[in-house]
Amino acid sequence: MHSQDNPFEAFVDGPRSTVSPTGKGPLSGLTFAVKDLIDVAGVPTGGGNPDWERTHPVPDRHAPSVARLLANGAEMIGKTRTDEISLGILGENVHYGMPVNPASPERVPGGSSSGSAVAVAAGLADFALGTDTGGSVRVPSSFCGLFGIRPSHGSVDFTGVVAQALDYDTVGWFARDAAMLETVGTILLDTDEPHHPVQLLVAEDAFRFADDDIASALAEPLSRLAAVIGSPRNVTVASQGLSVWQGAQRVLQSSQAARHLGPWLAETNPRLAFTVARALLRGQAYTDEERGRAALMKREANQRMHNLLADGSILALPTTPFVAPLRTEAVSGYDRDRISCLTSIAGLSGLPQVNLPWRRSDGVPVGLSIVGARGSDRTLLAIARKWEEAGR
């Protein structure tokens, strides 16, 4: 299944592109991979869709996020596969296929930053850039057993990246250990220095929302987190229900994606997976009234998260409500929506979230997430490192 040049099918097809570092720094000697949604000068940006690649010029400059990494000593070793136009959560791509999850090869890797997660999980790169609009870094982190961050919205320059829905789009990254995740953060993030977390909050509604085996598998990593931060307090995040938050995020995100991609769809008539075309058409079909109601819900969700976290508290929740589904399994729309019920908490409010990887007793990855206030990215990264150290 995987060729010698592309083990685990992490990279895009064709000759592997590499870019040497442009300077020296904290990342010297490290390698990284780049999701094929992010511009690397001289390399086509495929966006996971052959017609996207065909209808866009080869970029003549690096995305600022890539340029920073190169300037700080890292070597770019390849563009990675993605769900087409980032519209997917499992790692599916009808044009190019699904990468192999190194942590559990019979299971999906998660997406849409599938190849970046797989490249890191397989040890092919030290770290990798992805994007996260509705969960595209967090879900593959959880499924592949990686540390991964979706930063505060707006904290990492999104220039030179294929947009899905700019109000939610972020550039995130993956690493096998928390120290590496944090080191990359010192380069990419302009947010505040880490501060000491005030209180650990446990999202009861999110834990109840996950399958029983997830909640029990996360008991140990959660108590280790309590050892790092302090004794936890249970909270209900969404009094309206997580499904209501998810519904609002879906309306807003997919309306914006449909509006943004509309001219390209009309001009190109691209080949798309039937389900991707369907999602875009649903995005076009929402009424102004539906969008208006979703915007009000977003406002209330933002206020709620501010009330919970503005004092420096940290929220813990399962990253995904279940482990990576089997590749052979048809995943229902219901279960896809269950995933975004959890990712909508940080997504709708633009907050940073870090996945702390763990293993179920049978070795299959599960993920515990921490979410902090806007701009607390480096605090989350420091907590992740201390959490990792506490396990040694």
Query: What residues act catalytically?
Result: 35, 112, 136
Measure CA 14 to chain center: 25
Count of other CB atoms within 10 angstroms of residue 88: 26
Tell me which stretch binds a copy of itself (CB under 8 A): 38-46, 182-190, 230-238, 274-282. 274-282
Task: Return the closest-CA partner of residue 112 out of 94, 90, 138, 95.
Answer: 90
Contacts with a copy of itself in 26-55 (CB under 8 A)?
Answer: 51
Asked whether position 280 contacts a copy of itself by CB under 8 A, the answer is: yes
Pairing of strands 75-80, 147-150: unpaired
Asked whether position 259 contacts a copy of itself by CB under 8 A, the answer is: no
- Beta-carbon contacts of 10 under 8 Å, excluding residues fewer than 6 positions away, are 33, 78, 80, 81, 99, 115, 116, 118, 119, 122, 124
Q: How far is the CB of 46 from a copy of itself (least distance, A)?
A: 15
Q: How far is the CB of 87 from a copy of itself (least distance, A)?
A: 12
Asked whether position 270 contacts a copy of itself by CB under 8 A, the answer is: yes
Asked whether position 269 contacts a copy of itself by CB under 8 A, the answer is: yes
Asked whether position 321 contacts a copy of itself by CB under 8 A, the answer is: no
| 171 in Cβ contact with 65 (< 8 Å) | yes
Report helix angle 288-309 to 333-349, nearest 10: 60
Q: CA dist 224 to 26, 265, 358, Å?
A: 29, 48, 11
- Is 20 or 269 the residue whose CB approaches a copy of itself more closely? 269
Tell me which stretch binds a copy of itself (CB under 8 A): 36-44, 117-125, 220-228, 271-279. 271-279
Q: How far is the CB of 370 from a copy of itself (least distance, A)?
A: 34
Asked whether position 274 contacts a copy of itself by CB under 8 A, the answer is: yes
Asked whether position 281 contacts a copy of itself by CB under 8 A, the answer is: yes
Question: How many chain residues are in contact with a copy of itself, going by CB under 8 A?
Answer: 17
**Binding residue (CB under 8 A) for a copy of itself from 16, 271, 293, 306:** 271
In angstroms, the CA 371 to CA 224 distance is 16
- Is 78 or 270 the residue whose CB approaches a copy of itself more closely? 270
Maximum CA extent, the chain: 56
Residue type, 311: D
| 163 in Cβ contact with 169 (< 8 Å) | yes
Asked whether position 265 contacts a copy of itself by CB under 8 A, the answer is: yes
User: Coil, strand or helix: which one is 232?
Assistant: strand
Binding mask 77-116 for a copy of itself (x = CB under 8 A): ---------------x-xx---------------------
**Binding residue (CB under 8 A) for a copy of itself from 273, 286, 331, 336:** 273
In angstroms, the CA 312 to CA 263 distance is 42
Q: How far is the CB of 119 from a copy of itself (least distance, A)?
A: 25
Contact footprint for a copy of itself (CB under 8 A): 51, 92, 94-95, 265, 268-275, 277-278, 280-281
